């Protein structure tokens, strides 16, 4: 279980004592956070264990570089540090999967159907409902969705050719959820979201849950969570561009 206070206190102890025992304790307490961050980058051609090792090394470096006199909580400092290190590792080691033209066209067709059905039904359709509307099988709907996610299309965690996430294009810094939430432009944008959408943002970017875990918390399917993330992105980007 991730406990920000315990992680911060362990880091503070190491910053004062600089002993191997204090370092070992700090790493042990913060390791669940490392693993949670690493897990967000699975499915990109690199083994989870490799991602965890990279995250752990970033944690050690962050502990050695942590300066309590700056007044930052360690979790605010270490989360973007680990995230950036893992992202750079993936960018340097992994080749991004290109989206085939046929899949891209199917994805666009599915997006149009989803938008139309959501407006009509006042909720997002289930996979069987979407399949019936498109004249596809349920398996085809799930396959197209899964392939697009694997290809890193329009996910909040996806990277482009420059190693940038879609959220990076909003101009949000890598300083952690607490910091960017306080920015005035994003604060206004977040206020335009529904309670459920704000809860998803918290689950994904503060609690660092995967889409699947977030879906369980919200009693939704992973596909619905993915679609909600895309809708949130469009909303935030639109609002922030006008502020």
> What 8-state DSSP symbol labels residue 159?
B
Burial class, 81, CB count within 10 angstroms (exposed 0-12 / middle 13-18 / buried 19+): buried
Q: At what angle do helices 74-93 and 48-65 cross, to 10 degrees?
A: 140
pLDDT digits (tens, 9 = 90+) for 158-189: 443 344 444 444 444 444 444 433 344 566 66
Domains and CATH numbers, the chain: 4-93 (1.20.120.1810), 99-151 (1.20.140.160), 156-243 (1.20.140.160)
pLDDT digits (tens, 9 = 90+) for 120-158: 887 777 878 888 999 998 888 877 776 655 543 333 444
Query: Residues of the chain with pLDDT > 70: what percent?
Result: 70
Q: Is the dihedral of CA 84, 90, 91, 97 positive or negative?
A: negative
The pLDDT assigned to 167 comes to: 47
pLDDT digits (tens, 9 = 90+) for 89-120: 877 664 444 445 676 688 788 878 887 887 78
pLDDT digits (tens, 9 = 90+) for 44-57: 668 889 899 999 99
Cα distance between residue 26 and residue 29, in whole Å: 5
Closest residue by Cα to residue 132 from 113, 150, 149: 113
* pLDDT beyond 80 at 228: yes
Q: At what angle do helices 138-150 and 101-121 cross, to 10 degrees?
A: 120
* pLDDT beyond 60 at 25: yes
């Amino acid at each position: 279980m991730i406990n920000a206070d315990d992680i911060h206190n362990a880091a503070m102890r190491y910053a004062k004592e600089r002993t191997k025992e204090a370092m070992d304790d700090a790493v042990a307490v913060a390791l669940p956070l490392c693993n949670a961050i690493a897990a967000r980058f699975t499915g990109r051609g690199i083994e989870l264990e490799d991602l965890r090792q990279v995250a752990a090394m970033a944690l050690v470096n962050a502990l050695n570089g942590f300066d309590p006199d700056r007044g930052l909580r360690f979790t605010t400092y270490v989360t973007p540090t680990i995230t950036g290190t893992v992202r750079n590792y993936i960018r340097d080691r992994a080749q991004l999967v290109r989206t085939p033209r046929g899949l891209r066209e199917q994805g666009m067709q599915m997006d149009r159907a989803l938008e139309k059905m959501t407006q009509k039904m006042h909720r997002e359709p289930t996979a069987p409902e979407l399949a019936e509307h498109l004249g596809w099988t349920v398996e085809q709907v799930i396959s197209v969705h899964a392939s697009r996610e694997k290809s890193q299309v329009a996910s909040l965690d996806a990277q482009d050719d420059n190693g940038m996430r879609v959220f990076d294009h909003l101009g949000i810094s890598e300083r952690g959820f607490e910091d960017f939430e306080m920015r005035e432009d994003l604060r206004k944008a977040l206020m335009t979201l529904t309670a459920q959408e704000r809860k998803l943002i918290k689950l994904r970017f503060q609690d660092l849950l995967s889409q699947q875990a977030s879906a369980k918390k919200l009693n939704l399917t992973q596909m619905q969570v993915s679609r909600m993330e895309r809708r949130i992105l469009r909303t935030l980007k639109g609002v922030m561009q006008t502020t």
